[in-house]
Amino acid sequence: MYRSESREKLREFECITEQVKKCTNCELHQTRNNVVVGSGNLDSRIVLMGEAPGRKEDESGLPFVGAAGKLLDTLLASAGLKREDILITNVVQCRPPKNRRPKKSEIKACEHFLVEKIAVLRPKIIAPMGNSSLSYILNHYGKEKAVIGDIHGQPFVTEEPWGKVTVFPLYHPAAAIYNRKLIPQLEEDMRKLAELQVS
């Protein structure tokens, strides 16, 4: 599910995962089958952040394994990136029923897990995908509200205790399933993200 060169990092991430599994802080715990904490490389410079697990993610315990996940893999490959080299997570760890958007209260209840994960991962780049994760990130870093259609592909830099972190907003891949015209834009933004990774 996830890997790292650092035993300490693995231990810390596993510890958070165990806490999430026991969590009953919001009503989403009542309907979940599995929590979805994250997958990929804990040592990655990039964290991709979606909104919440969907049905397939809830069944498998892994993020982005449905149709949006397949498209995400294709988009990553088009930019020379691989899913297994990146860390993928969500703003909330349990599936909202019928894939509705997570409520503000649920995001608030789950926020500390996300903050703890990011502190363990210490990424150089955080890429919120879609409006829910963008909204969370803008609020978290004290930025003005914005929508993904206006600021996708436009990075801004913020500070964390481990150094500068670039926030790079992306459309959610699911949006491109319903609106294929977004795919060239997503491909272009992925290319920019890949360039940032090596800069």
Residues at the site binding ligand SF4, with contacts judged by CB under 6 A: 20, 23-26, 28-29, 35, 92-94, 106, 109-110, 113
Beta carbon of residue 195, minimum distance to ligand SF4 (angstroms, whole number): 34
Alpha helices in the chain, H assignment, sequence order:
7-22, 55-60, 67-78, 104-121, 131-140, 148-151, 173-178, 183-198
Strand partners, 3: 41
Beta carbon of residue 111, minimum distance to ligand SF4 (angstroms, whole number): 8
| Of residues 113 and 171, the one with the C-beta less far from ligand SF4 | 113
Beta carbon of residue 110, minimum distance to ligand SF4 (angstroms, whole number): 3
| Of residues 97 and 149, the one with the C-beta less far from ligand SF4 | 97
| Of residues 41 and 93, the one with the C-beta less far from ligand SF4 | 93
- Give the residue carrying structure tokens 């004290």: 142
| Of residues 26 and 125, the one with the C-beta less far from ligand SF4 | 26
Beta carbon of residue 131, minimum distance to ligand SF4 (angstroms, whole number): 18
Beta carbon of residue 31, minimum distance to ligand SF4 (angstroms, whole number): 10
Exposure class string for 7-22: b at 16+ Cβ within 10 A, else e: eebeebbeebbeebee
Cα separations in angstroms, 19 against 2, 75, 157: 17, 32, 30
Amino acid at 36: V
| Of residues 93 and 166, the one with the C-beta less far from ligand SF4 | 93
Q: How far apart are CA 54 and CA 95, in angstroms?
A: 6
